[in-house]
Amino acid sequence: MNYLTINGGKRLSGRVQISGAKNSALKLMAASLLGHGTTVLTNVPRISDVFTMIEVLQRLGAGVSFEDNTLRIDTSGEISTIAPYDLVRRMRASINVLGPLLARSGHARVAMPGGCNIGNRTIDMHEAGLTQLGVRFTFDHGYLEGIADRLVGKKLVLDFPSRGATENLMTAAVLAEGVTVIENAAREPDIVDLASFLNAMGAQVWGAGTSTIEITGVGRMSSTEYQVSADPIEAGTFALAVLATGGDAELAGAQPETMEIFLEKLALSGAEWAPTESGIRVKCERRPRAVDFATLPYPGFPTDLQPQMMAFLVSAEGTSIVTENVFENRFAHTQELVRMGADIRTEGHHAVIRGVPGLQGAPVKGSDLRAGAALVVAALGAEGTTEVHDFHHVERGYEDFAGKLRSLGADVELMVETTSLQV
Ligand code: EPZ
């Protein structure tokens, strides 16, 4: 088990390259099962979730190679339709093989993804939509099994703009007979990435990025080559790391048009940002002002930046009110921030942050990848040394996090846990 030590107080500056988006790459990897040939994905981040998805695809019978940031996925052979229990339990995104397997083979047997510490995260909307397309589901021994003699396009309405449900319905509908319309669809950048990828394979997907996606089924899809777009959540995380130290740096590859509300909230805090030739420049030369924000599905403030934004606001001037609308339980990081001297009170979906002049380093534990990243943001601006334990969570979604921070001037080191720390 790794942990990161951070000696706070160093001002970050310079330039950091933002990697391809985890929450896009994982879906494109699953969707490659729709083709019969070799898919090439470039700008794929080297993170543990990608290696887990590689294992899922290999266990299904695909041939996969990963050199630098280029993935080659050969799905020309026999593909099993049973997704391994241990891997789906380890990573919820494995459920995204459900749609492609049903479209390719008319059958899928996938372990129910575990809940996690940010919420119960059921898949009822995935199941309801696929059932309307003609899938018959049974559930036994922890597995969800779907069978479909044929998939027929329908008009579907999602109760909530779920990203996973939208993606599974898109990848099932591309080979269904007739037209599928998904109303109240998720609008995140990874949905747009997935639609572009599917269309490059020969699909007919229109409206991705809006709440209404229309898909006309085609007979067959072919493998393709595609570049994964930059990760807005990694970009936002590094922006807050730089700002928490009063720094000034460029986030190369970041796309401001995918981060509008987040950047607006940064400006309200008194931080400055500007687009550059290759990304975004951020700087903050004064103590930030308190800012209220509420997480919502895209284009609202992303829940995956809520912990990191909190870690920036804990030392702001004034009181910030944070509302978490997407997950039931995504405030685990607040107690760890309090351990560093923050003044935060949570009540249901709300958190009240009273700004303090500064934080002190302490041994803390990140319970999921964004909570861990938030504790690093707080530690960079804190006085003294912090240890962020359970760092393997962070390594699920950030390529070379420590190396990138060091390149901006941070004093951080990745350590190996010798004793289990009770914090
Ligand atoms: C994606 O998860 C992301 N993961 C999450 O990022 C992100 O936090 C989440 O979207 C919300 O933006 C990946 O893309 C791999 P949802 P997903 O379906 O698809 C409920 C990270 O840090 N729901 O939009 O699972 C669900 O419980 C991770 O990178 C149902 O109730 O999210 C949750 O409360 C964490 N029934 C809400 O909707 C369903 O059938 C949002 O879920 C589906 C979802």
Per-residue confidence (pLDDT) for residue 423, from 0 to 100: 45
d(CA 240, CA 248): 11
Among residues 227, 249, 266, the one where a domain terminates is 227
Q: What is the DSSP string of 274-303?
A: EE-SSEEEEE--SPPBP--EEE-STTSB-G
Which residue has a Cα nearest atom 17 of ligand 1? Answer: 164
Domain residues for 153? Answer: 22-227
Ramachandran quadrant class, 117 (left: phi over 0; alpha: psi -120 to 50; beta: rest): alpha
Per-residue confidence (pLDDT) for residue 349, from 0 to 100: 96
Among residues 199, 227, 255, the one where a domain terminates is 227
Same domain flag for 13 and 144: no
> Stretch 200-209: mean pLDDT, rounded?
98
Number of domains in the chain: 2
The vertex-236 CA angle with 94 and 323, nearest 5°, equals 80
Burial class (CB in 10 A: 0-12, 13-18, 19+), 421: middle
Find out whether 369 and 16 touch, Cβ atoms under 8 Å: no
Same domain flag for 235 and 222: no
Same domain flag for 104 and 196: yes
Counting Cα atoms < 13 Å in the Cβ hemisphere of 353 gives 32
CATH number at residue 58: 3.65.10.10
With H, G, I as helix, E, B as strand and everything else as coil, classify residue 113.
Answer: coil
User: Is 421 part of a structural domain of the chain?
Assistant: no
Same domain flag for 140 and 241: no
Compute CA distances 60 → 33, 72, 75, 109, 197, whole Å: 9, 15, 9, 11, 21
Per-residue confidence (pLDDT) for residue 419, from 0 to 100: 62
Quick check: CB of 121 below 6 Å from ligand 1? yes
Same domain flag for 291 and 348: yes
340 CA from centroid of ligand 1 (Å):
29
Quick check: CB of 301 below 6 Å from ligand 1? no
Share of the chain above pLDDT 70, in %: 98
Full-prediction pTM beyond 0.75? yes
Quick check: CB of 265 below 6 Å from ligand 1? no
Dump pLDDT digits (tens) for 9-67.
Answer: 999 999 999 999 999 999 999 999 999 999 999 999 999 999 999 999 999 999 999 99
Q: Which residues is 274 bridged to in the sheet?
A: 281
Dump pLDDT digits (tens) for 254-288.
Answer: 999 999 999 999 999 999 999 999 999 999 999 99
Among residues 227, 254, 275, the one where a domain terminates is 227
The two three-digit tokens of residue 201, written as one number: 């394979």
> Stretch 76-83: mean pLDDT, rounded?
96
Same domain flag for 394 and 261: yes
Mutation probe of ligand 1 site: the residue of 162, 190, 329, 394 with most atoms within 8 A of C-beta: 162
Band of the pLDDT at 84, cuts 50, 70, 90?
confident
Same domain flag for 199 and 238: no
Same domain flag for 214 and 288: no
d(CA 253, CA 248): 16
Active-site residue, selected from the candidate residues 1, 116, 157, 423: 116
**Active site (annotated) includes residue 284:** no
Dump pLDDT digits (tens) for 397-418.
Answer: 999 999 999 999 999 999 988 7
Share of the chain above pLDDT 90, in %: 91
Residue of 185, 179, 126, 124 lying closest to 151 (CA atoms)? 179
Same domain flag for 176 and 43: yes
User: Is 347 part of a structural domain of the chain?
Assistant: yes
Same domain flag for 273 and 206: no
CB within 8 Å of 338: residues ≥ 6 apart: 344
Same domain flag for 72 and 185: yes
CB atoms near residue 410 (< 10 Å): 23
19 CA from centroid of ligand 1 (Å):
21
Quick check: CB of 123 below 6 Å from ligand 1? yes
Ramachandran quadrant class, 188 (left: phi over 0; alpha: psi -120 to 50; beta: rest): beta
d(CA 266, CA 244): 11
User: Is 208 part of a structural domain of the chain?
Assistant: yes
Band of the pLDDT at 247, cuts 50, 70, 90?
very high
